[in-house]
């Protein structure tokens, strides 16, 4: 008889609730859990593939050691001792900064990694820490730190109550939300329209979400800051700024209004391609709406003015009184409040800089775009060993080919990962964690970013396989062995993750310690496997602010200063073709391409290009073309589409599985090309160090067959 289990999907940010039917260790059916208060029965194709990941024959079940081009399985004691010994030797001879660390985005889906990783990583004591953050959402976090006092204090659109939703550089129908955890987003956007609201989207590509928009405008990649500055400036110049109850919490808003005066709609029109009259109307419509939310994501974060864009978005929300307002943008009240408890890390900026390019750190991490140069450049502090955790930076960070070369020159590399992928194939040892259905699950991060306050805990569905280790156990054991190898005291032991979670829930805002009527604990969640609804987002300011004076700093000096860089750039319109990325509902970066059911269907590895550009270059739809940037060149089929702005081309993110040595047999049948063989490690947002992987100058030509 099949047994039904309830679980949260961990494959993207949406936190969809699942009902999983099992016979033995085999998944027989997966459905959406209609009783989940957040996802309401919705699932996407990724969730149906969880069984594929659990039972994937390519998933590693034992530690692996590389011997030339071959791999051999070894026991855990041998693997852990060798890793600890090699890292200790390099650290002792060259210092802690000789060891680099890269953490991929699956880490934030794994609460055991988040609670226990420092047991190992703190033993290394390196400043060379990198993660997917700086190829993604670092501008959001830096803005939260500067304006609101905490890097995770990110305003979330109240999509269920807004009347006017202005969206830039986002495609939630493909991403299920991003820094806006929003399952069932199609239904929520349809509800917005049915209650008389309006969705306005601005993007270089008329993407899947744009098909639902009431109004859509193409924009030149990299010019969103000009549009947002002009809109915000117009709100001030026409007397439309009405912050309302926020007024007493704001410092520096008048200075922002003054700084934005040079950024007129006419100047923005010249570079964005959006007419000045339209820019003025968008500003007026937003200010006049009963409740409005301005939201921007990957397209506006991963460009050269990423932090400026996110700042201007919040200035528009603040100036119109839509921050901390029902139907505007609000802060969450999660059951496990990682912002206020002992896990809280408000952030810090520019406490040190990278060795080669002198790039500033943020919250202990340097920009991932600097990783290769810190390995390849000789001298004191050169990275000689790398630790990668649940990441594939060869495919997911700028100029991946250069990073591939750099990893190949390391003295030692260890990867904590379940696959031999394009990055881990370069490691000396791979330490694989237990399978996804063998672990419990709780979303520490995405409940902080969700459009509704809920809580849900997932118990393991399958027992941990013999001789396997959970991620947190790997971190614990490595920490103990590295401390011993270095002659240090062992790390202070921590309880298992579920015990830490229980303590956090007990002391959280709905817990018994604070006297909340729900008295929420881990047992409460176990008794409610579909989750518990904690209610809609509600106004929480000024109490939720982490600034010392409980005020919002509207004019951080670095941001108003960066307007000068934008002002100069407005006089230099882009020329030639520029490249942007794109996402697909069946894909979440590179690590889901080894599931047959996720990669089947129409090919999606083509270069999207406008027919007018094809005609101008003498190219035909469906031809194989060569795309070339400053850093590299790839060949790929081209697909004509009027859903992209002329002068813009687009490749999907996360492909490029043709590299020798990777052992992803399904992915290898449909390798595609990596957009990050074209992105440039030198292109970044100067303020945050976030990679600028959108708006990369390229040329496109007919591929010439080899002689």
pLDDT per residue over 58-112, tens digit each?
Answer: 999 999 999 999 999 999 999 999 999 999 999 999 999 999 999 999 999 999 9
**Which parts of 131-181 fold into alpha helices (H)?**
138-143, 172-175
Q: Which pLDDT does position 604 carry in this prediction?
A: 87
Residue 102, H or E segment = strand 99-103
| Cβ-based neighbour number of residue 13 at 10 Å | 24
Distance between CA atoms of 663 and 110, rounded to whole angstroms? 24
Q: Which of 85, 110, 77 is nearest to 11 (CA)?
A: 110
- Find tokens 């031809």 and name the residue: 623
Cα separation, 227 vs 309, in Å, equals 9
pLDDT reported for residue 82: 98
Residue 631, token pair as written in the block: 């850093």
CATH 3.40.228.10, applies to 158-331+543-564:
yes
Q: What is the spatial distance between Cα 227 and Cα 233, in angstroms, rounded to a whole number?
A: 10
Separation of alpha carbons 399 and 690, rounded Å: 14
Domain locations in the chain as residue ranges = 3-55, 64-135+367-439+473-494, 158-331+543-564, 575-702
CB neighbours of residue 537 within 10 Å: 25
Q: What is the mean pLDDT of residues 416-438?
A: 97
CA 311, distance to chain mean position in Å, is: 18
Q: How confident is the model at residue 396 (pLDDT cuts 50, 70, 90)?
A: very high
Average pLDDT over residues 369-384: 97
* CATH 3.40.50.740 corresponds to the domain 64-135+367-439+473-494: yes
End-to-end CA distance of the chain: give it in Å, rounded: 61
Among candidate residues 407, 378, 373, the one with its CA nearest the CA of residue 631: 373
| Cα(522)–Cα(525) distance, integer angstroms | 5
Q: Which residues pair with 294 in a beta bridge?
A: 166
pLDDT band at 353 (very low <50, low <70, confident <90, very high): very high
Alpha-carbon distance 123 to 290, whole Å?
A: 53
Q: Which CATH number applies to 575-702: 3.40.50.2020, 2.40.40.20, 1.10.10.60, 3.30.70.60?
A: 2.40.40.20
Q: Where are the alpha helices (DSSP H) in 182-330?
A: 185-194, 224-237, 253-259, 265-272, 276-288, 298-301, 306-319
Paired tokens of 611? 């027919």
> What's the angle, vertex CA 380, arms to CA 378 and CA 381, rounded to 5?
95
pLDDT of residue 707: 52
| pLDDT tens profile 663-690 | 999 999 999 999 999 999 999 999 999 9
Cα–Cα distance measured from residue 273 to residue 283, given in angstroms and rounded to the nearest whole number: 16
State the pLDDT confidence band at 589, using cuts at 50, 70 and 90. confident
Let me know if domain 3-55 sits in CATH 3.30.200.210. yes
Q: Where are the alpha helices (DSSP H) in 95-184?
A: 111-116, 118-124, 138-143, 172-175
The pLDDT value recorded for residue 706 is 59
Please give the pLDDT value at position 525.
98
Q: Looking at 204-208, 586-590, 694-698, which range is the least confident one?
A: 586-590
Other Cβ atoms less than 10 A from the Cβ of 409: the count is: 12
Burial of 455 (0-12, 13-18, 19+ CB in 10 A): buried
The pLDDT of residue 472 is above 80: yes
Q: Measured between alpha carbons, how far is 111 from 444 in angstroms, rounded to an integer?
A: 6
The H or E element spanning position 538 is none
Exposed/middle/buried for residue 638 (C-beta within 10 Å: 0-12, 13-18, 19+): buried
Report percent pLDDT > 90 for the chain: 94
């Amino acid at each position: 008889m099949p047994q039904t289990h309830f679980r949260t999907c961990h494959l993207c940010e949406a936190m969809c609730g699942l009902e999983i039917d099992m016979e033995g260790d085999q998944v027989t059916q997966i459905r959406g859990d209609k009783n989940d208060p957040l996802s309401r029965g919705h699932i996407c194709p990724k969730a149906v593939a969880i069984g594929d990941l659990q039972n994937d024959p390519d998933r590693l079940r034992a530690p692996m050691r590389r011997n030339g081009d071959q791999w051999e399985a070894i026991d855990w004691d041998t693997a852990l001792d060798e890793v600890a010994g090699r890292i200790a030797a390099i650290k002792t001879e060259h210092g802690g900064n000789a060891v680099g660390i890269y953490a991929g985005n699956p880490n934030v889906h794994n609460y055991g990694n988040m609670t226990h990783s420092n047991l190992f990583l703190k033993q290394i004591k390196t400043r060379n820490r990198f993660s997917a953050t700086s190829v993604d959402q670092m501008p959001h976090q830096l803005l939260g730190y500067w304006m609101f006092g905490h890097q995770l204090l990110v305003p979330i659109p109240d999509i269920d109550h807004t009347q006017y939703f202005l969206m830039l550089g986002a495609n939630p129908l493909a991403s299920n939300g991003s820094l806006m955890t929003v399952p069932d987003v199609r239904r929520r956007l349809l509800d917005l329209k049915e209650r008389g609201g309006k969705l306005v989207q601005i993007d270089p590509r008329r993407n899947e979400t744009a098909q639902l928009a009431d109004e859509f405008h193409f924009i030149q990649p990299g010019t969103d800051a000009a549009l947002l500055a002009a809109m915000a400036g117009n709100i001030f110049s026409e007397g439309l700024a009405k912050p309302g109850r926020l007024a007493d919490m704001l410092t520096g808003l008048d200075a922002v209004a003054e700084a934005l005066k040079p950024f007129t709609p006419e100047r923005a029109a010249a570079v964005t391609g959006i007419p000045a009259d339209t820019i003025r109307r968008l500003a007026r419509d937003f200010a006049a709406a009963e409740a409005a939310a301005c939201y921007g994501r990957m397209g506006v974060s991963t460009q050269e003015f990423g932090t400026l864009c996110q700042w201007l978005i919040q200035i528009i929300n603040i100036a119109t009184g839509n921050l901390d307002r029902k139907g505007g943008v609000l802060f969450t009240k999660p059951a496990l409040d990682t912002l206020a408890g002992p896990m809280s890390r408000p952030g810090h900026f520019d406490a040190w800089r990278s060795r080669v390019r002198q790039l500033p750190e943020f919250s202990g991490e340097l920009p991932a775009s600097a990783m290769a140069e810190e390995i390849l450049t000789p001298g004191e502090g050169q990275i000689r060993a790398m630790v990668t955790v649940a990441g594939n930076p060869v495919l997911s960070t700028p100029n991946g080919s250069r990073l591939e070369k750099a990893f190949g020159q390391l003295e030692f590399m260890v990867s904590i990962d379940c696959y031999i992928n394009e990055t881990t194939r370069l490691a000396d040892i791979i330490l694989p964690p237990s399978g996804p259905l063998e672990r419990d699950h709780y979303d520490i991060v995405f409940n902080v970013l969700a459009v509704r306050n809920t809580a849900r805990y997932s118990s393991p569905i399958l027992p941990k396989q013999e001789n396997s280790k959970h991620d947190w156990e790997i971190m614990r054991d490595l920490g103990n062995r590295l401390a011993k190898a270095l002659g240090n005291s062992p790390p202070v032991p921590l309880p298992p993750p579920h015990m830490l979670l229980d303590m956090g829930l007990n002391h959280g805002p709905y817990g018994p310690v604070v006297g909340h009527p729900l008295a929420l604990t881990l047992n409460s969640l176990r008794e409610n496997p579909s989750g518990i609804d904690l209610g809609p987002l509600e106004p929480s300011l000024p109490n939720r602010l982490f600034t010392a004076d409980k005020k919002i700093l509207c004019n951080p000096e670095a941001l108003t200063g960066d307007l000068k860089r934008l002002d100069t750039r407005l006089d230099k319109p882009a020329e030639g073709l520029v490249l942007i990325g794109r996402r697909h509902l069946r894909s979440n970066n590179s690590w889901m391409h080894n599931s047959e059911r996720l990669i089947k269907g129409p090919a999606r590895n083509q270069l999207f290009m406008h027919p007018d550009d094809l005609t101008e270059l003498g190219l035909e739809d469906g031809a194989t073309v060569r795309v070339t940037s400053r850093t590299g060149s790839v060949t790929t089929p081209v697909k004509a589409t009027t859903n992209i702005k002329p002068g813009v081309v687009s490749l999907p993110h996360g492909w490029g599985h043709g590299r020798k040595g990777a052992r992803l047999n399904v992915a290898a049948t449909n390798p595609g090309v990596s957009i990050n063989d074209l992105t440039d490690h030198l292109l970044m947002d100067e303020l945050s160090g976030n990679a600028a992987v959108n708006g990369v100058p390229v040329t496109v030509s007919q591929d010439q067959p080899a002689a």
